[in-house]
A and B are shown apart, each in its own frame.
Chain A
Amino acid sequence: MDFASLFPDAKPWVQSLATLWPIPLIKSSSWMFHAILVTHLLAIVTLGGAILLPGLRLMGVGMADQSPSSIEKTVRPWLWGALIVLAITGILLGMVNPMKLYGRPAFFVKVIAIIAALILSLGVIRSIASRDGVVTQNAKIMAGIALAIWLAAILIFGTSYGAAPGTFHIICAGWLIVMAFGSRMTRIVLGGITAVIVIGVGIVTYGVYHPLDDYDIVMEINRWTLRLGALLVAGFAVWEFTRKREAATAAPPLNRLIGLLTILAWFTVAAAGRWIGLGTSG
């Protein structure tokens, strides 16, 4: 699914974007496009810090001895700054080659995931943090909407030819969070299963088959490995972050899930963004 198949009549308008100011200026310069791209990348890095700390705090990990409200307030200007720079540089980068974005499923996924991530960061997290952990009814509704939008983005990401491999990054992000903040037993079990899968796929891909000679079989194995990995990580994450904790200071399960969802939603935005360039058209 991409914008080209959803809105085919918009093609002339999309094409005309490349002629608007200041795109011809950027195109005629040998360095301007790359300067904007690097600025975009630096803003992504800033965004990383600004979403990780409040997200992890909501999960009850990281800076757990600081109140959620103080962390959210501290990172808020950096989050806004990063979002404004990302919006400006992202629009300019897109307008330089609008037809590429128009036909790429990864760009469609990125736009959908941005909506979910913005609802979570600017709406839900801010609401919960300002009440130091209390989730209001409105916040629950907003989180539910964001979850539905994010799941739709993941579904499109995982089923779009040319973009699907990018879901590996989101599975990896979820895996890392479970491995970093899960219980010891969870780490051992998930780590063991992961090792078996990685070694198994390695043997099957390079020992039993050959990627170039048995392309279709190897691709099918990769697809099923990704699906299995996604289910495995999702299962462990939900179990790990919803189970009852003994510590009195432990964050409530809903807060933990919202913190996790916010981090994963932003990683989906970043991963889909990277796969606009790395992937192919639908």
Chain B
Amino acid sequence: MFHDLLQWLQDVPGATDGDPTTSWSQQFGGSLHLWALTEGTHVLSLMLFAGTILMVDLRMLGIAFRSVPYSTLNNKVLPLTIAGFVLATVTGVLLFFSNPVHYYHSLFFRAKILFLLVAAVNIFWFHYRVQKSMAEWDARPSPPPMVKFAAGVSIASWILVILFGRLTALSFFECENMPRGSFGYVFAECEPVMRAVEEMNGEEAVDEEVIEEDAAPEDGAPEEEAQPEDAAPSDDAAPPADSERKE
């Protein structure tokens, strides 16, 4: 749906002389330290953001801080959670900007966004429905089942957000690796990506034909026997040790 817009975002803004490698997005993605610092901050902000959410969820489950009223704990911890959330969101948006087309068509990234939405819906449901009766259970060491359910959904969804966020850095289930028409292929909207890959392959094939024609001897002398590139064993044949984009 947004493929073309994100392709433009990746290639055009900041680009000089129409060269996409000079765009802001690609310069940021290929930067020596800036990308790494942003990614590191994104991961470390989880300690503040998800770490504090976990403590509040444990109180809601009646596991930790049982003698502290929920509202007391929440009022003190919520500002820290919000600070962590802002940090994680700002760095997350910047990381998305560094490679928007890849992330947009990443199966894991889409799963991450899906569970982010689940977490958000759970927060709104808890805030506007469950929290209305807070006076009844605020000081109870073990809150009612609805509160525990909300805490369970919160913990599960944030674990899945972190899990899929981590997996987004890996190259499993790229569009090129998934069978056309499979669930993953459709879920990640792979059609525009594969069209672009096919167009690129087609252009390369045409280029190769042109090169071969240019290199053909004019005097009609027999050409040297072609050596297939993959005939000789190569050191590059070993599978990559690490499938991450960056270490």
* Interfacial residues, chain A to chain B (CB-CB below 8 A): 30, 34, 37-38, 41-42, 44-50, 52-53, 56, 62-66, 70, 74-75, 78, 165-166, 168-169, 172-173, 176, 180, 211, 222, 266-267, 270-271, 274-275, 277-279
Contacts and interface: CB of A to CB of B under 8 A. Distances in A.
A157 B76 CA distance: 33
A133 to B, nearest CB: 18
Contact of A47 (B47, B68, B166): B47
Interface of B: 31-33, 36-37, 39-41, 43-44, 46-48, 50-55, 58, 64-65, 67-68, 72-73, 76-77, 79-80, 83, 87, 159, 162-163, 166-167, 170, 172, 246-247
B224 to A, nearest CB: 41
A147 B166 CA distance: 33
25 contacts: A34-B170, A37-B166, A38-B162, A41-B43, A45-B54, A46-B54, A47-B47, A48-B50, A49-B55, A50-B55, A52-B47, A56-B80, A63-B68, A63-B72, A78-B58, A165-B36, A180-B83, A267-B44, A267-B47, A271-B44, A274-B40, A277-B247, A278-B36, A278-B40, A279-B36
Contacts of B72: 63, 65-66
Given A34-B167, A168-B40, A274-B40, 17 more contacts: A41-B43, A41-B46, A41-B162, A42-B159, A47-B47, A48-B48, A49-B52, A52-B51, A53-B77, A62-B77, A62-B80, A65-B72, A165-B36, A166-B40, A176-B87, A266-B47, A279-B36
A275 B46 contact: no
Interface of A is mostly: helix
Given A41-B166, A45-B54, A271 B40 contact: yes
Contacts of A53: 52, 55, 77
A45 B68 contact: no
A30 B55 CA distance: 33
B93 to A, nearest CB: 17
A274 B33 CA distance: 13
A50 B52 CA distance: 8
Q: Which of A48, A52, A78 has the most CB of B within 10 A?
A: A48
Given A38-B163, A172-B41, A277-B247, A46 B36 contact: no
B170 to A, nearest CB: 7
Contacts, number: 112
A110 to B, nearest CB: 13
Contacts of B73: 63
A66 B246 CA distance: 44
B162 A52 contact: no
Given A34-B167, A63-B76, A176-B83, A45 B47 contact: yes
A62 B76 contact: yes
B46 A45 contact: yes
A74 B65 contact: yes
Contacts of B159: 42
Contact of B40 (A48, A62, A275): A275
A42 B162 contact: yes
B40 A45 contact: no
Contacts of B77: 53, 62-63
Contacts of B87: 176
A78 B166 contact: no
A71 to B, nearest CB: 8
Contacts of B83: 176, 180
B41 A169 contact: yes
Q: Which of B40, B46, B52, B65 has the most CB of A within 10 A?
A: B40
Contacts of A49: 47, 50-55
B31 A52 contact: no
Nearest to A57: B76
A74 B41 CA distance: 28
A38 B164 CA distance: 9
Nearest to A39: B163
